[in-house]
Amino acid sequence: MRTTGCHGFCERGPITVIQPDGIFYQRVKLEDVAEVVTETIRNKKIIDRLLYIDPRTGKKIIKEKEVPFYKKQKRIIFGNNGFIDPTDIEDYIALDGYKALAKVLFDMTADEVIAEVKDSGLRGRGGAGFLAGLKWEICRNVSSDVKYIICNADEGDPGAYMDRSLLEGNPHSVIEGMIIGAYAIGASEGYIYVRMEYPLAVKNITLALEQAREMGFLGDSILGSEFSFDIHVFKGAGAFVSGEETSMMASIEGRRAFPRQRPPFPAQEGLWGKPTNINNVETWANIPLILNKGADWYSHIGTRKSKGTKIFSLVGKINNTGLVEVPMGISLREIIYEIGGGIKDGKKFKAVQTGGPSGGCIPADMLDLTIDFDTLTKAGSMMGSGGMIVMDEDTCMVDVARYFLEFTQEESCGKCVPCRVGTRQLVEILTRITKGRGEERDIQKLQDLAKTIKAGSLCGLGQTAPNPVLTTLRYFENEYEAHINQKSCPALVCKDLIIYHIDPKKCVGCLLCLKNCPVDAISGERKQVHVIDQDLCIKCGACLDVCPPKVSAVVRYTGKKKERVLKNVQSKRAKK
Binding of residue 461 to ligand FMN (CB under 6 A): yes
DSSP letters for 366-405: GTTPBPSHHHHHHTT---TT-EEEEEETT--HHHHHHHHH
What is the SS3 string spanning 159-220?
Answer: CCCHHHHHHHHCHHHHHHHHHHHHHHHCCCEEEEEECCCCHHHHHHHHHHHHHHHHCCCCEC
Q: How far is the CB of 558 from other proteins (least distance, A)?
A: 17
Q: Which one of other proteins, ligand FMN, ligand FES, none interacts with residue 321, CB within 5 to 8 A by kind?
A: other proteins
Q: How many angstroms separate the CA atoms of 26 and 12, rounded?
A: 6
Q: How many angstroms separate the CA atoms of 162 and 386, rounded?
A: 8
Closest to 127 measured CA to CA, from 467, 426, 472 = 467
Tell me the HSE value of 285 on the side-chain side, using a 13 A CA sphere.
32
Site string for ligand FMN, 151-190 (x = CB under 6 A): -x-xxx----------------------------------
User: For residues 538, 539, 544 and 546, what is the CA-based torsion angle, rounded to 10 degrees?
Assistant: -30
On whether the CB atoms of residues 87 and 338 are closer than 8 A, the answer is: no
Q: How far is the CB of 164 from other proteins (least distance, A)?
A: 5
Q: How many angstroms separate the CA atoms of 516 and 538, rounded?
A: 13
Q: Which one of ligand FMN, ligand FES, other proteins, none interacts with residue 124, CB within 5 to 8 A by kind?
A: ligand FMN
Closest to 200 measured CA to CA, from 30, 29, 2, 5 = 5
Residue choice 64, 91, 244, 269 for contact with ligand FMN (CB under 6 A): 244
Binding of residue 79 to ligand FMN (CB under 6 A): no
Comparison of 158 and 216: residue with beta carbon closer to ligand FES: 158
CA–CA distance from 317 to each of 144, 320, 346, 350, 393 (Å)? 50, 9, 10, 10, 10
Binding of residue 64 to ligand FMN (CB under 6 A): no
Q: How far is the CB of 166 from ligand FMN (least distance, A)?
A: 11
Q: Interface residues for other proteins in 187-206 (CB under 8 A)?
A: 196-200, 203
Q: Which one of other proteins, ligand FES, ligand FMN, none interacts with residue 317, CB within 5 to 8 A by kind?
A: other proteins
Q: How far is the CB of 567 from other proteins (least distance, A)?
A: 28
Binding of residue 121 to ligand FMN (CB under 6 A): no
Q: How many angstroms separate the CA atoms of 280 and 294, rounded?
A: 21
Pairing of strands 276-280, 148-153: parallel
Comparison of 209 and 419: residue with beta carbon closer to ligand FMN: 419
Stretch in the footprint of other proteins (CB under 8 A) among 236-244, 441-449, 450-458, 470-478: 236-244
Q: Interface residues for ligand FMN in 245-304 (CB under 6 A)?
A: 245, 278-280, 283
Binding of residue 96 to other proteins (CB under 8 A): yes
Binding of residue 372 to ligand FMN (CB under 6 A): no
Q: Interface residues for other proteins in 377-416 (CB under 8 A)?
A: 387, 389, 391, 395, 400, 403-404, 407, 411, 413
Q: How far is the CB of 573 from other proteins (least distance, A)?
A: 27
Stretch in the footprint of ligand FMN (CB under 6 A) among 126-134, 229-237, 321-329, 471-479: 126-134
| Size of the residue set binding ligand FMN (CB under 6 A) | 22
Binding of residue 243 to ligand FMN (CB under 6 A): yes
Binding of residue 450 to ligand FMN (CB under 6 A): no
On whether the CB atoms of residues 56 and 322 are closer than 8 A, the answer is: no
